[in-house]
Structures are given as C-alpha cells and as structure tokens.
Structure 1
Amino acid sequence: MAPSLHADRSAPQPPDRGTLDALITQARTLRGRLDAVRRGADEEGEPDPGVAGADPGTRWRRALCELAVHQLDDLGSQLDQLREGMPPETPRAWPSADQPPGEAAADTGGAAYSAARPSGESAAPARRDRVGSAEWNLLTDEVSWSPELYGIFGRTGRDGPLSLDELPSWVVPEDQPALALAFTDCLVDGRAIDQEFRLVRPDGSVGTVHMVGEPVLDSDGSTASMWAVVRDVSALRRSEHAVRETRDSLQQERHLARTEHKLAVELQEAVLPPWRGSLRFPQGDERTTGALDLAAHYLPSASSTLIGGDWYDAMELPGGATLLTAGDLTGHGVTATSGMAMLLGAVRGMALAGVGPGALMGHLNQLLDSTAQPSLGSALCCRYEPHARTLTWAQAGHPAPLLFRDGAGSVLPRPEGVLLGVTSGAAYGQRTVQLRPGDLLVLHTDGLAPDDALRPSGPACGPRSAALHAGSARLLALADRFTAADSAQECVRAVAEAFADREREDDACVLVARVTS
C-alpha cells in the first residue's frame, strides 16, 4: 500500500555532466595559460625578483599568479567533486590540526572571539578588499602597506601598518605557531611563504587570509626585507566549510538509511514465512483430501530501496484447516516492517485461537486504531477447510482473491470491509466459496498496480476499485500460464516474470494456493 501522502515536487536533478566536463576543461586550460604567465613573470625582472631593487611590478605579478594558481586548483577540485558526486574529501594542509581555517569554523571560534563580536553581527563584513601587498624593511624598520591590505585587516591609514612583531597578535592562537615558523623560514633561511591563517579584526570578526611572500636580498645575499601579497579568502573557506558540512550530513543520512534498510530487511525475513518453493497443507499424507499446494513471492519496489509493510502467510491450524493471509501497512522502513510484524503476529494468534476471518478483521482494526503511531492498513484473511474444500474469507480494503477454474479467472465477490485504522468499530463481513480439485487461488497486495491507478472510487474508507481492477486484470491475463503450470511454484514464477518490468512504486506480495485433490 502506497503512503497516504506523496511529494508533489520532483527531486533536484544533478548538473549536466557534459556541462561540468566543459567547465573542467576550461579551468584546466586556464590553469595552463596561467603557468605560462607565471613563467613569463619569473623571466621578466632583472635582477632576480628576490633581490633588492627588483621591479616591484614583477614581484606583484608573480605573487598574484601564485594566488590565482591556488584559486584555480580549488576550483578544479570543486568541479571534480561536483561531477563525481560525493567522493572522499581531499586532505588539505590546514594550519590548525584541530580546526580548518574556514571562515565558518572561525565564526564559532571560542569565547575569546565571540565575546568581542557585537550581538547579531556576522563573522565577516559584507565586503573586503580581496588582495593587498606589504613590505617590511628589516634595515630601517619601515613598513609599507597597500590601501587594500588595510581593508583586509580592518584598519585605517591613521592606525598605520602592523610590524612583523605585531602581526602574530592579530592571529588566532591556533594559527600563531605556524605563522611564526613561516616568518622564521623566510627571514632566516630565505624560504618563500605560502601560508593561510585566521586573523581577528578590531570589530571582532574573524577572517581567513592567504599570504604569499618572499625575502628580498641585498647585494651581500642577506635578507633586507620581506615582501608579501595577502588575499582575503574568507568567502571561499566559508563555502568550503558549508560543502564539508553538507557532505558530512549527506553521508550520515546515507549511513542511517543503509542501517534502517538492513534492519527492515532482517525484520521482514524474520517475520515472513521461512519456506521457499512449494509447500503442502495439510502436511503429512499425500492422499489428504483437499490438500493445498502453496507458493509465495515478495516483489520489491522498482523505484525505492525501502522495504514496505507488505506480508503474506500460510499456516496450518488445529483441526487441519489452513490460514491464508496477505496484507499491507502504509509507510516504508523499520516503522512499517515492525507494524507489519505486529499485525501478522496478531493474525496468527487469533487464527490459532479459532477466531473467524470477519471477527479477526474487526480485532485488527481495533488494534491498529489504538496504536501510538496511527497508520492505515489493508488485510485479507482466509480460512480453508480441506475436507469440505470451503474457503471462508474477509477483507479490509484489500484486493479480493482471484479464482482460476477451467482455464479462466475471476474476482471473488467482496464482503464488506474498510481499511484498517480508518474508523473505530468498523464491521467486517465474510463470504464462503466452494472450491474444486484443480482450482487455483491467487492472493496479492495492491503494490502490483501503479500509483496512478490508486484512486478511491468513494469515501476515503471505501474500496479502491480502480487499483483493484488494474492489479487483478494483469493477473487474470495469466490464466493460460496458470492452467499449463504443474505446481503453485510455477504459477508464482509466472507472476514474477510478468511483473518484472513493471515500474512499481511500492513493493508487493503474491501467494498462490492450488487445490490438489
């Protein structure tokens, strides 16, 4: 039985793979051209860019190329992830081992910084100048900042630039050791700087910046100054952090879905009859009058991996009678399968106690109506007496059994009965039909019919005749195959083959009972 509510909007479609491939190709082409520009910048300036007196424009272009390379590499990685779906995250060498310098992560970066931020103010201003430059002269202690760098740090020209000694105090404590090491490597060992760090601005906001720098040497080869280009990457890191959080959330949801599916499958397998292939009731003497040859099959949904609340069952009762039942509970997953287990257990218990099909349906309705989580269900209960070959049955909003006799099939007239859980105190009638040797009974759930046929013909609690007609008509068309079959198992196989290509949006069960003598 399909859930009572359906989504009226389709799920978002993934980006077109051809478009993403074209974007990736363009990004790689641009990356190659940028490498050529960077090599040209390295070859232009005389003397070497790291020597005092080198063209400042050359150093500027070279640093901007380095930053652009980083940004294109980030873009390429993100486009690859978008094309492939949800691959594992590529490790990134963050300054802090405990927390990446993503702006969103820094937004919650401890009481020391959240207390300094005015209430309701975002962690980053709406606009920051993206790239600025600086030079620290070690011989004269002079510091030169571009206007953009003042904007990145949230300072004004009257505040003046920060010295190398002052700069670490503006950085969050977790990133200070890595920045100090980078400065030492640059000033003492002459190594270039390529470092990200988080800074705390005067307004309390926390931003992430990427610094690319290098030592400037004098004629003796000693470090005369340090020159750097700083880029505000706060927005980029916020986006990356949001992507990571979304990916982690999706992965957790998928893990939970797989776990729930596993539990639902295990519960279904534990509850449904363990027999496979044909089964004979009553068991024992092959010459028993009116014995039934039984077989059943579960057909999973073609559009969902979730297990529904469909069931089938056949059980020998005291005195030689046989219980045949099928049913369906709304919903999917563990909730539906646990509810199905409860109902099927109640059916078995009441049948063993001798409760007739009609009264049994009434008790099931009362049980479902009183559960903590209200739901709807359909059910079919049949009691077969082998010696008299009589079938007494009742239904609750469920497809009627199909009777195949002398090469033709028909739908048994339905006794009164509404869906389980619709209304309290509902009355359920029952009917009795006389069977003959060779007769074939087919019980099934309404998942065999597509959803567009599941339209009530009357009130919400009335029978869904359109769905019943659609599902029954497809089964009635198999009359010739049923007639030619030698066993109930062959009939079930014919049903499975006939409905294998159906786009079912719900799972279904079918049970076949053949009167052998």
Structure 2
Amino acid sequence: MPSPLFADRPAPQPTERGTVEALIDVTRRMRGDMDAVRRDTVADGDDTLWRWRRALCDLAVHHLDELGGHLDQLRAGRPAGAMDEAPAGGALTDSRTTDDGAAAGGVGSGEWNLLTDEVSWSDELYRILGRAPERGPLTLDELPSLVFAEDEALFTTMVTECLIDGRPMDGELRLVRADGQLRTVQLTGEPVLDTDGCTASMWAVVRDISELRRGERALRESRESLRQERRMARAEQRLAAELREAVLPSRQGSLRLSGGGAVALDLAARHLSSSSNPLSGGDWYDALELPSGEALLTVGDLTEQGVAAASSLAMLLGAVRGMAVAGIEPGPLLAHLNQLLETSRRPALGSALCGRYDPVSGSFAWAQAGHPAPLLFRDGTGRALTPPDGVLLGATSGAAYEQADVQLLPGDLLVLHTDGLTRAGGADGAGTGAERDRLLALAPRLAGARGARECATVIAEEFGQAERTLDACVMVARIGD
C-alpha cells in the first residue's frame, strides 16, 4: 500500500490555491485577535479564574499556530527541498518555515527499509527527537531507547502490528530525548508493501504535540482549581449562613414588650441577600428584652464577608448584649464596641445603630456609628430622625458617640435598616435621596398594615425584587396601644 506522503508515489492534489490563501488570511486574523484577547486577560482578583482563562487563551493560540503551519505547508504543495531528486523510498523532508522564516511547528517523518536496512529521517524529526543529524537516524531496534518506560509496551505493539499484520499505526507516545526532555508525540504510519504483498518498509509521521498536551493539562488543572475554589466558596457560604442563623434572632418572629403594662412593642425583621455576592453577609440586626423591661434594638454592617463576617458578628453581638444587660447606654456602648474592633486580632470596620426603648415612658435613646438613621412613621407620613455624631466602628481610636432621644407614641412605626437597603449612604446617613424617598413613600401602606411582621414584608417586597449588589437588613418596631 503506497504512502500518499512521498513525492515519488501518487498523491492527492492540494486544495485550490485561492481557497488556501483565504484560509491563511482568516487564520492570521484570528491569531491577531486571539493575541489581543490574551493581552486583555489580566488578573482581576480571582487568581484561579485568571489562570483558567489564560490557559484557554494559550491553548487557542497554540492551535491557531499549528493550523497556520499546516496551511503554509498545504500552500507549498509539497515539502521543501529537492524531493524530485530523492530516490525511491526516500524520506519526507518537512517544510516548517513560513514566509518570514519563523518556525511553524513540529512534524517530522522517517522510513525504515526492511530489505536494505536503510533508515531515512527528515530534518524536523531529528529536531523533535533531539538527535544531532551527524549521528544519523536510529534503527527500529534502537528506537525503543527513546520511548518512555510506561509506553514501551504500546510502542512495541504498534510496530509489531504494522510490520507483521500490515496494520496502520496511530497512537500517542511519550519520548525521552538525549537532553532529558520529555516530549509527547503523535505517531502515525503504515507499512509499504512490495509487489508480492510483503512488508518492504515502514514509514511514519511524528507530530510533536507536547505544547498542546501541556496546554490541555494546564487547562484541566486550572479548571479543577476553579471547581475546587467554587466548592470551597459554597461550603463557606453554607457555614456563614448557618452561623448567622445561629446568632441572629428569628426573622419572622416578633417581640412584644409590656413594661409595667403600659405600652407594647411589636418587632419583626427581614434579611435581603445579595444576588451577585453570595459571600457577603456582614449585615446584622438584634432585639433583646433587658432585665429593666427595656428593649435593645441594634442593626449594623461589617466590612468582612463570609465566615469571617459571621465570626466577627458573633463576637460583636455577644459584646453588645452583655453591655446592654449591664445597663450601658447606647453612646458609651458604641465607644466600647469601637475599642473592641480596633484591638481585635482581625481588625474590621463597621457601621452600627444601637437604641434602647423604654415601654413605660415611650422614650427611645439611640446612637449611631456611621449608620443610616432610623425612619419614624407617624399618622401616615415618614421622616428620617436627625442622627447624633458618630464615626464608623474601628475607624479611629478613642472615638466618642453622641446619644439622641425621641419620644414615641402609640401607633408609631420605627424602621431601622442597613445602608444596603438604600444602596448607598447619604450625607445624613439615611441613604441616597431617591431610595430614601422611595422608602418613605411606603408610609400609607405601612399605616394600613396589621402589625410589624406585615410592615417588614411590605418593605422586603418593595426592595427585594431587583438584583441586589449588597446584603441588607431591615427591622420594624411598632408601638402598640
């Protein structure tokens, strides 16, 4: 069966020249575009994802380079060199040079004549196998010395089936060059039969696919790293959510206080999760009935995320509850929290609002640390309370926090929330003007609600429909009759 790869035997004619030129132009344009994409693929904080993208780009560029080299050979119509002068049975001399003289790939060929023991290699095959041309080619008996130990059995089977059974060869092998480099090659070949149908020689084409396999391996590794990172992120997200659920009070429950039987306080809260950042979660709220009969109301937001935020949250809420039970007022309480965050092993920033409601007098004393002010709804209208001075927790040492008091009346509704609800902080701490007005515009609906739980549901439905970039908490306190 004569080989179609040798010039002295019949071979199919190449594709019409104009078509090949067009393919070459397309490939070069794609190569340039791919280079631009690779240059634009910069690290963006997610190192694993960047490595995966880079590996994909490198693999695509390698494929395009190989395609360009093959098209150049196809355009040439036959391998470069004096093939017309080659004797029958001579080896293929590869064309691996583009118009600008740059190396264009790694495909070599050789033929082993079983009748004369002659061996012919192309120049490229010497380069692929790392053997100096002056040393001459290797015989079939010497070739196994280059094959990686684990692939020797496969190589022996391929050659035996080719020579004895007359089967074509097509397989992937690893070779160890004289310089110690491990190369991966695609070995393709077939026996050349004489007039009696016996095997006279064996020819083979050796394609160096080391860079291709290296790129594929890098892609697999980076893809697996990305999968592992995502699995860890999901596990961290679940752990953070479980910690939050264990620390925060029930979102659906309500707390009713009746200190001295005078006034009842109805409380409800909601947490709105971010759709774009599942590991966010520094927003928190808390409500606690104190031994004095007063109610502690707090909301806040830590800059940390995930498990770190949940861990800091547990520490912070424990400190808030302990100081509140000890009778510390909201202003001094925030000052102690500021010192706690500043001196912790893992410093963090945070905003917070802390208030104490006295159901006997109806007084609400509160302080804030860089946090949106509460909204007071009364008689079908709403307004933001004027915030006392206070800086972010953890921002500066020895910070003092002013305290304000407001008298609440039966039927009043107090809404405490984190800045994620109104998306940005405004000058007065109540959020952006448009979003704050949108929240205040809910006053008629809130006035008609039957309780704090229904009010919290109205707010959550209004602000939870759109895609959220930040977590948010909202707590509603309704003064009963």
Q: If the length of structure 1 is used for normalisation, what is the TM-score?
A: 0.71
The answer for the alignment partner of 2:475 in structure 1 is 511
- Please say if 1:340 is aligned against 2:313: yes
Q: Answer whether contact 1:264 1:307 (CA < 8 A) is retained.
A: no
| Cα distance between partner residues in 2 of 1:488 and 1:499 | 17
Q: Answer whether contact 1:265 1:307 (CA < 8 A) is retained.
A: no
Q: Answer whether contact 2:286 2:298 (CA < 8 A) is retained.
A: yes
Residue 311 of structure 1, aligned match among 284, 291, 294: 284
| Matched residue type, 1:211 | L
- Please say if 1:180 is aligned against 2:135: no
Residue 368 of structure 1, aligned match among 333, 336, 341: 341
The answer for the alignment partner of 2:120 in structure 1 is 144
- Please say if 1:384 is aligned against 2:348: no
The answer for the alignment partner of 1:223 in structure 2 is 199
The CA deviation at 1:158 is 1.6
| Cα distance between partner residues in 1 of 2:437 and 2:228 | 43
The CA deviation at 1:298 is 0.2
Corresponding residue SS for 1:194: strand
Distance change in 2, residues 1:159/1:263 (3 Å): same
| Matched residue type, 2:270 | H
| Matched residue type, 1:160 | G
Residue 204 of structure 1, aligned match among 156, 180, 187: 180
The CA deviation at 1:259 is 1.2
439-448 vs 342-351, which moves further: 342-351
Corresponding residue SS for 2:431: helix
| Matched residue type, 1:194 | D
| Matched residue type, 1:477 | A
Residue 467 of structure 1, aligned match among 431, 443, 458: 431
Q: Answer whether contact 1:329 1:377 (CA < 8 A) is retained.
A: yes
Give the structure, 1 or 2, with the largest relative contact order (CA under 8 Å, sep 6 or more): 1
Residue deviations 1:420-451 (CA, integer Å, cap 9, x gap): 0011111112122111110100000001123x
Q: Answer whether contact 1:129 1:148 (CA < 8 A) is retained.
A: no
Q: Please list every run of 5 or more consecutive structure 1 residues that lacks an aligned counterpart in the other structure.
A: 1-47, 62-85, 87-125, 458-463
| Cα distance between partner residues in 1 of 2:161 and 2:358 | 93
Distance change in 2, residues 1:225/1:342 (3 Å): same
The answer for the alignment partner of 1:326 in structure 2 is 299
For these two proteins, the number of residue pairs brought into alignment is 395
| Cα distance between partner residues in 1 of 2:353 and 2:415 | 12
Corresponding residue SS for 2:261: coil
Residue deviations 1:8-32 (CA, integer Å, cap 9, x gap): xxxxxxxxxxxxxxxxxxxxxxxxx
Residue 415 of structure 1, aligned match among 382, 388, 391: 388
- Please say if 1:478 is aligned against 2:422: no
The CA deviation at 1:57 is 4.9
The CA deviation at 1:55 is 6.2
| Matched residue type, 1:475 | L
| Cα distance between partner residues in 2 of 1:479 and 1:410 | 10
345-354 vs 467-476, which moves further: 467-476
Corresponding residue SS for 1:446: coil
Q: Answer whether contact 1:315 1:323 (CA < 8 A) is retained.
A: yes
The answer for the alignment partner of 1:232 in structure 2 is 208
The answer for the alignment partner of 1:3 in structure 2 is none
Corresponding residue SS for 1:409: strand
Residue 130 of structure 2, aligned match among 121, 142, 154: 154
Corresponding residue SS for 1:447: coil
Residue deviations 1:136-160 (CA, integer Å, cap 9, x gap): 1223221122222222223343211
| Cα distance between partner residues in 2 of 1:473 and 1:507 | 20
The answer for the alignment partner of 1:243 in structure 2 is 219
Distance change in 2, residues 1:57/1:150 (3 Å): farther
The answer for the alignment partner of 2:405 in structure 1 is 432
| Cα distance between partner residues in 1 of 2:436 and 2:290 | 28
Corresponding residue SS for 1:467: coil
Root-mean-square deviation (CA, aligned residues, Å) is 2.7
Q: Answer whether contact 1:378 1:397 (CA < 8 A) is retained.
A: yes
| Cα distance between partner residues in 2 of 1:142 and 1:364 | 88
Corresponding residue SS for 1:345: helix
Q: If the length of structure 2 is used for normalisation, what is the TM-score?
A: 0.76
Q: Percent identity?
A: 60
Corresponding residue SS for 2:292: coil
| Cα distance between partner residues in 2 of 1:293 and 1:155 | 87
389-398 vs 219-228, which moves further: 219-228
The CA deviation at 1:316 is 1.0
Q: Answer whether contact 1:399 1:468 (CA < 8 A) is retained.
A: no
The answer for the alignment partner of 1:280 in structure 2 is 256
- Please say if 1:499 is aligned against 2:463: yes
The answer for the alignment partner of 1:45 in structure 2 is none
